[in-house]
């Protein structure tokens, strides 16, 4: 009897530092990696991060944040913040409603770059779109799984957003933000139908629009105002 050969296990390669090193060899430094977290959720901001890694102290195990466990992300977040130059920016639900999710994400990415202690000479950003920065910029599709600096930024953005959503859960109990982080899961949809949208929800995302018809809300100057809530800026203090 002929036995089938066992399939080889495919192990994904970790993101590398080659692009950053090539730019550095040409005298282009610092080089920042940029990524965002939170385009898809129904609530909370889009969070963008910019990270300039120290070539001599790159944390081991950097990878796309989606391929890491929550505990591993937390560990790497602490290592990145201790060894690299980092900045984070938030695009609020009000900005997302006004500009659309893509434009709000690009704005947050650019703002994160501008918030770095030293403006980089070049930026590597995850995705198809370059961002508005006063230096060279390359958009790298799938960059969070290819480029170490972008992978680091994806971790910083993800952990920062997850922590913020846990704080928003204290401000708006009942929605389960601490568990699903604002994503469209059954428990969140049920809470939306039961409680209606909060100030932290994105009003023009379809499930939120559907839920808003079931609850009377006050609209002032283009923003949803719900009593006994605070703004994201207040939560971050």
pLDDT (tens digit per residue) in 11-69: 568 999 999 999 999 999 999 999 999 999 999 999 999 999 999 999 999 999 999 99
User: d(Cα 232, Cα 165) in Å, to the nearest integer?
Assistant: 10
* Rounded distance between C-alpha atoms, residue 77 and residue 138, angstroms: 24
Task: Give the tokens for residue 16.
Answer: 């590398």
Given a cut of 60, whether residue 10 has pLDDT beyond it is no
Q: Which position has the token pair 């899961």?
A: 185
Q: Are 182 and 205 in contact (CB under 8 A)?
A: no
pTM of the model: 0.85
Q: What average pLDDT score do residues 123-131 get?
A: 98
- Count Cβ atoms below 10 Å from residue 32 Cβ, excluding itself: 32
Domain ranges of the chain: 18-167, 173-236
CATH top class, domain 18-167:
alpha beta
pLDDT recorded at residue 13: 86
Q: What are φ and ψ of residue 14, in 5° steps?
A: -75, 155
């Amino acid at each position: 009897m002929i036995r089938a050969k066992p399939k080889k296990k495919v192990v994904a390669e970790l993101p590398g530092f080659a692009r950053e090193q090539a730019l550095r060899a040409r005298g282009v430094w610092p080089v920042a990696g940029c990524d965002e977290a939170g385009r898809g959720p129904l609530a909370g901001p889009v969070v963008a991060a910019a990270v300039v890694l120290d070539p001599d102290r790159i944390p081991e195990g950097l990878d796309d944040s989606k391929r890491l466990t929550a505990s591993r992300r937390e560990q790497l977040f602490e290592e990145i913040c201790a060894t690299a130059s980092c900045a984070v920016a938030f695009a609020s639900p009000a900005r997302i409603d006004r500009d659309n999710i893509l434009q709000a994400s690009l704005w947050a990415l650019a703002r994160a770059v501008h918030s770095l202690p030293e403006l980089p000479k070049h930026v590597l950003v995850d995705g198809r779109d370059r961002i508005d920065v006063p230096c060279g910029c390359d958009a790298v599709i799938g960059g969070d799984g290819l480029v170490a600096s972008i992978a680091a930024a994806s971790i910083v953005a993800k952990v920062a957003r997850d922590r913020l959503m846990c704080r928003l859960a204290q401000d708006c109990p009942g929605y389960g933000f601490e568990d699903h982080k604002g994503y469209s899961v059954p428990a969140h949809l049920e809470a939306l139908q039961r409680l209606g949208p909060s100030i932290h929800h994105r009003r023009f995302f379809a499930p939120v629009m559907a839920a808003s018809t079931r609850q009377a809300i006050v609209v002032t100057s283009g923003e949803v105002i719900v009593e006994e809530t605070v703004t994201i800026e207040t939560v971050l203090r």
